[in-house]
Each structure stands twice: as structure tokens, then as C-alpha cells.
Amino acid sequence: MTKFIDLTLNGISTGAIYAAVALALVLIWRSTRIVNFAQGAMLMFTTFIASAVLNGGGSYVLAFVVALAAGLALGGVIERVVVRPVENAPPLNAVILTLGLYTLLVAIAGMIWGNTPRSFPAAFSLRGYRVGGTNLLFTPNDTFTVLVVIAVAVALALLFRRTSLGLRMRASAFAPEVARLLGVRVGRMLTLGWALAAMTGALAGVLVAPSVFLGPNSFDPILIIGFVAAVLGGLDSPPGAVIGGVVLGLALSYVSGYEGSALVPLAALVILVVVLMVRPTGLFAATRERRV
Amino acid sequence: MLTIEELTTDYGPIRAVDGVSLKVPEGSVTAVLGANGAGKTTLLRTICGLVRPTSGRVKVEGEDITRWAVEEIVRFGVAHVPEGRGVIAELTVQENLRLGGLWRGREAMPIREIFDLFPRLEERSGQPASRLSGGERQMLSIGRALMGRPRALLLDEPSLGLAPVLVAQIMSMVRRLADTLGLAVLLVEQNARSALSIANHGVVLNLGQVVVEQEPSKLVADERLLHAYLGF
């Protein structure tokens, strides 16, 4: 029973990270219909920047804020400079472009910071809470992770649902031409969408770095699992991405705990295949509303 | 108010709009008639910047807006109600309306006034626009365009697919808007009779060119002409 509780708690905290990655992918898919394969490299890059701040003597809080700001800037610049020219081109162009961007960012990071993985500190203690004489597999740092992801998800939901900026962004995503006819500066909204997505990704990077170490390629598995979570949630739905992330976190935690951690990537891919076969629109896709 | 000078638009080798000149004064309705493929929709899409013209100019109150970006043209007060009722299906009726007025900031028309104009929209304000009927979508598109208090309104086939009663309602509404708000309305229609019933000027387009420009009353009476260019 303790093991089950442990695995559940662990699944929730890793699920929160997958949720953040999935959210980053979904925000970009929704606004520009591009699957951002460079997301893993982008969040690796911003985490390296945070690590540089820490090495330079900055506090954890400063490094955290710098990582998010760097994500915001990186996402915005990439959309404006690199992605904008292919936005109206065939979808394959954008796919190849994000793959190229991935390679480029990984190479640049390796040149600047080296290819040897380094450690990255956690915000809070990594010693599990003590309950009734045993240590739970849930740490103060996990609490921090879950709370931060919830906060960001809620903030994004409020932005999209409650503000006029969010209304403009949704309109630009759903119907760019009509949005332009209503005076919405769609280009800016797309830039902002990429910036927010990259910021959410940067958040995931800083949160997951303590457990995977920090190297140019160390976040690739997280991106793959985040992608599965996004597909599980429907690729189109931010709430779906969050739920998909948590569901996947739990599922993979049980697989890892009961069957062995070697099976985790396999299990993620099995889930991906099953979702695509049984319910290709994902669990929470809003596409049924799209028929006009 | 809205002046179009020698406007020409090509789609590759096809000349869709060919040297069209028009004037739409404030508070008046100009009806542009023509069969399918006459270039009516392209004319509107060129005016509002969705399509780039090959040559010619579009002026609004003396300002040359020909090469402006779509959103800047809209922000200058030219509202386009696209064909096929371009409501955003995923947003609610109220969100669609709000969106239309956002660029005007505080000077946007209060949503209340749109609801007074179209009471049906108020009943449905919280529902997604995907649930609206064809007529309601048309009302929403027009109401949404009005939210930004435009000076000129470009209407693309508002009667398309609507019951005759609704067409009459929408047409008299357009007339009233031109009279009360001083809007310059450019109304593109295949439904010649209902469009001419409210228009101050009538223009017939054929293969992208203006072939007739006349008083609406004379146009309606000219059976031979309507038959030749509009097919009835």
C-alpha cells in the first residue's frame, strides 16, 4: 500500500512536469499548427542559462526568473525570425525547420557549455516527507513543482478565458483571417503565443533538471513523453494537456515501480500508439466544434 | 468617403477585377451586382487588403490605404463582413461581438446597442457561435463589424442562403444603419432586387468590369439588362 501511495505521489509530481511540456507544445500547435520539435532543445537552452546564473553567484530565485524570461524571449524571437517565413508554407517545411532548430540549439549549447552533463540544484529539499516513521517518495521540492505548474496553468487559463488579450489570441488561433478582419494584429498574437509556450517549457526545464542532470541531450526523453501527453489530451486543448500530463505521469510511475524503469519509454510509446488507434483526436479535443 | 480608382486585381493569369472605379459617399448604399465569378468578392477582398491589387487605388476620406495591412485598414474604420458569415465558431456570441470592438478600446460601441439592434443575439449571447442558425450568424457578423464603429461597411452577399423574410429584414437594417450612423455601405449581392430596393447607386459587374452604373430604380426596371448579366 505504501508503495502504491509512493508511486501515485511520484506520478503526480513527474506528471506536473510532463503537463508543462505538453502545455508548451499545445500552445504552439493551437496558434500556428506546428508541432515544435525544438521545444526540448529550447527548454534545455534556457535551463543552461539558469545554470550559468547560478554559477555566476546568482540566487535560485534569480536563476528561475531568468530562465522564464529567457524562454519568453527565445520563443518570441524564434517565432518572429525563424518560423514566420514558413507559417504559410506547407506543414512539412515547419516540421523540418523545428528539427533543424533542435539540432542547432543542441550544438550551440554543447559549444558554449560542454557536453558533459552537470548537476542542477533543486529549489527545496529532496528528502521525502516523514509520515509515521517512513519517508514518503514525495519531497518538498515535489510540492513546489506541483504548485508552480498549477499556478502557471491557472494563470494561462485566466489569461485565455478572462482577458481581452486572451480573446485576441484565441481568435487568432481559431480563425486568423477573420481575426485580422476584426483589427486583431495576428502576427503579434502568434509571437506572444510562442513566447508564452516557450516560457512554460522553460519552467518544465528548470523543474525537471535536478532529477535528469543538465546536458545538451538530457531533456529529449521529457519532450517525447510531453508529446505523448499532448496527444493524449488532444493536442488542441490546454486543459487536456494538463490532464494528459498527469495521467501519463501516473501511468509511467506505476509501470516503473511495478515492472521496472526500463519499460518506461516503451510504455509511453504503447500509450501513444493506442491513443492514436482508438481515439486519434485525443481525450479532450475540441475539434467537434470546428465544423462550420 | 470610400473612393476606388481604377482598381485591378489578378489571380495569376486571371484578371478578376478589371479597372473598377466607384464612389461610396457617407450615409449611402452602393449595390454591386453580378453573377458568380463577376469579381464581386475579389473586389471587396482587395478593398480590405486581403488580396493585393495589381494597380489602382483605394482611398478612405482622402487617405490612400491601398497597400496597408488588413488589420490597419480595419483600424482605419473599414469593416468587412465576409461571405459565408465568418463568425468564429469556437467563441461565444458575446466573445465574437467583443472581439469586433477591441481595437476601438473605450470608444467601441456598447454591446447593449448591438443587442437592441438584434435581440436574438442577446438570447444566445453565452452560446458558442457554432450553434447559431444562418440568419443569426449573419446578424452576428454585421453586429460584430458595427462594434468598432466603422465609417465604411463592406457587405459580401448578406442574403446568401437566407429565407426571403430574413433577407428583407437584413436589407432594411442595412439601410437604417447607413441613415442613422452615416455609414458608407458597399453591398455586394446576387439578389439584385432586394439589394437595389435599399441602394442609392447600382453597379453591375461582369468579368471584373463595371458594365452598367445607374439609378437603382432604372436598373430594376431594365429586365433585359438584369437578364443579360444576372441570369434572370
The residue ranges of every structural domain in chain A are: 2-218
The CATH code belonging to domain B1-76+151-158+184-232 is 3.40.50.300
- B166 — pLDDT class (breaks 50, 70, 90): confident
**What is the number of other CB atoms lying within 10 angstroms of the CB of residue A103?**
12
- The shortest C-alpha distance from A75 to chain B (Å) reads 24
Question: For the segment A256-272, what is each residue's pLDDT rounded down to a tens digit?
Answer: 999 988 898 899 999 99
Whole-number Å distance between alpha carbons of A156 and A165? 11
Residue B86 touches chain A, beta carbons under 8 Å: yes
What confidence score (pLDDT) does residue A280 get? 80
Question: Which residue type sits at A286?
Answer: A
> Per 3-state DSSP, what percentage of chain A is helix, strand, and coil (rounded to 5)?
75, 0, 20
The three cell numbers locating residue A74: 527565445
- B85 — pLDDT class (breaks 50, 70, 90): low
Asked if pLDDT for residue B88 goes beyond 70, the answer is yes
Asked if pLDDT for residue B106 goes beyond 60, the answer is yes
**What is the number of other CB atoms lying within 10 angstroms of the CB of residue A104?**
13
Strands B209-214 and B201-206, bridge-based pairing: antiparallel
CB A69 within 8 A of CB A53: no
The three cell numbers locating residue A272: 501513444
Whole-number Å distance between alpha carbons of A40 and A37? 7
- B51 — pLDDT class (breaks 50, 70, 90): very high
What confidence score (pLDDT) does residue B172 get? 92
| Chain A contact probe: residue of B72, B83, B90, B146 with most A CBs at under 10 A | B90
Q: Which A positions 158-217 lie with beta carbon below 8 A of chain B?
A: 164, 167-168, 170-171, 174-175, 177-186
CB A204 within 8 A of CB A222: yes
Please state the ipTM of this predicted complex: 0.89
CB B81 within 8 A of CB B145: yes
Asked if pLDDT for residue A14 goes beyond 50, the answer is yes
| Mean per-residue pLDDT over chain A, rounded | 91
| pTM > 0.80: yes or no | yes
Residue B7 pairs in a beta bridge with: B20
Q: Is the dihedral of CA A154, A157, A158, A159 positive or negative?
A: positive
| Max CA distance (Å), chain B | 51
- Chain A partners within 8 Å of B80 (Cβ): 181
Residue intervals in chain B for CATH 3.40.50.300: 1-76+151-158+184-232
- Chain A partners within 8 Å of B92 (Cβ): none
- B191 — pLDDT class (breaks 50, 70, 90): confident
3-state secondary structure chain B: CEEEEEEEEEECCEEEEEEEEEEECCCCEEEEECCCCCCHHHHHHHHCCCCCCCEEEEEECCEECCCCCHHHHHHCCEEEECCCCCCCCCCEHHHHHHHHHHHHHHHCCCHHHHHHHCHHHHHCCCCEHHHCCHHHHHHHHHHHHHHCCCCEEEEECCCCCCCHHHHHHHHHHHHHHHHHHCCEEEEEECCHHHHHCCCCEEEEEECCEEEEEECHHHHHHCHHHHHHHHCC
The three cell numbers locating residue B173: 437594417
Q: Which B positions 117-146 lie with beta carbon below 8 A of chain A?
A: 128, 130, 144
Question: For the segment A191-244, what is each residue's pLDDT rounded down to a tens digit?
Answer: 999 999 999 999 999 999 998 889 999 899 899 999 999 999 888 888 999 999
Asked if pLDDT for residue A135 goes beyond 90, the answer is no
Asked if pLDDT for residue B30 goes beyond 90, the answer is yes
Beta-carbon-side half-sphere exposure of residue A234 (alpha carbons within 13 Å): 15
What confidence score (pLDDT) does residue A289 get? 45
Asked if pLDDT for residue A275 goes beyond 80, the answer is yes
- A290 — pLDDT class (breaks 50, 70, 90): very low
What value does the mean pLDDT take over residues B165-179? 91
Whole-number Å distance between alpha carbons of A26 and A36? 9
The three cell numbers locating residue B57: 487605388
Give the three-state DSSP class for A131: strand
- Cβ contact A171–B91 (<8 Å): yes
Asked if pLDDT for residue A286 goes beyond 80, the answer is no
**What is the number of other CB atoms lying within 10 angstroms of the CB of residue B115?**
18
Whole-number Å distance between alpha carbons of A242 and A239? 5
- List phi, psi (to 5°) of A225: -70, -40
CA distances (Å), origin B196, targets A248, B185, B187: 62, 13, 10
List all residues 6 or more positions away from A233 whose beta carbon is below 8 Å from its beta carbon. A22, A26, A239, A240, A241, A242, A243, A244, A245, A282, A283, A284
- List phi, psi (to 5°) of B87: -80, 155
State the distance between the two ends of chain B, measured CA to CA, in whole angstroms: 33
